[in-house]
Amino acid sequence: MELLHWERQPTLRRPTLVAAFEGWNDAGNAASGAVAYLARSWKAARFATFEPEELFDFTSTRPQVRIEAGETHQVEWPTISLSYAAVPGTATDVVLMSGPEPQLRWKSFVREVCQVCRTLDVGSAVLLGAMLADVPHTRPVRVSGGATSSELATLAGLEPSYYEGPTGIVGVIADALAKQGVTSISLWASVPHYVSQSSSPKATLALVERASRLLGTKVETTDLQIASAAYERQVNELVASDEDASAYVSRLEEQDAEERQAQGQAQEGGGLRPASGERLAAEVERYLREHRGDQK
């Protein structure tokens, strides 16, 4: 059985892969929500899907039955899909990959992803994730991660990640793409662990803004900003009703302020400044030229 089903093979302009997966890599549904938001905003068109029977244990990730007009309409299988869109205001395109994190055949899946990148001449990737952390919901979302070079990580304004331990499919894809010579940046949003059961539009907004900046464009995010403000108000009300929770969040706020101050001083001492979207896009393009031997 074929692992990937092509519906068509698009012709793309210097495409960048942007990927996120539901599940272990996706606290608060922030990463999958960010890719879905970009797909809607840019009217992405699907061009391929992965065969679900090869990648999922259906007793864990079950198909869904949809009801319409009181009757069973159809069974929807868990699917990882690939779509494409033009990046507004640029001469580039984007390949968006999203769906549940696969449970089976990870090595085969990642090999197929790398083959898609070769077929479509994908030269760079932005991989999105979200994790639960000891952070307050009242402060700007922390975005950590890494890149194929420390210089790119600095330009992207990333807080370094020192995590060691089990990894998800995002980490495996990042490793495989690096070995293939694809310039990649991983962005991980931190979601407060004490609201782990709720979707976090605030973390989604942070990832959308950072990813679009890396792509050298801007996305209209008014509805996400409104949802983020509502989210923060709702969590504020819940925390205010519990004295222990309120004290805990206050301690997290103090800790966050101390860490941000220390980070700011370290950046000033090292002369580090996150790049503008235009500068970062130019830097990524320079890396691509070097990888491909293009001297234009």
User: 24: which residues sit within 8 A by CB, 6+ positions away?
Assistant: 101, 168
User: 279: which residues sit within 8 A by CB, 6+ positions away?
Assistant: 155
Q: What single-letter DSSP state applies at residue 121?
A: T
pTM for the predicted model, two decimal places: 0.88
Q: Which domains does the chain have, with CATH numbers?
A: 4-56+77-292 (3.40.50.10900)
- Compute CA 79 distance to the chain's CA centroid, rounded to the nearest angstrom: 17
| Residue 279 pLDDT | 54
CA gap 188, 2 in Å, rounded: 32
Cβ distance 280 to 214 under 8 Å? Answer: yes
Cβ distance 185 to 126 under 8 Å? Answer: yes
Instruction: Tell me the average confidence (pLDDT) per consecutive run of 10 residues in the chain, 296 residues long.
Output: 95 96 95 98 98 95 85 86 96 97 97 97 95 94 85 71 82 93 92 92 97 92 97 95 93 90 62 50 56 46
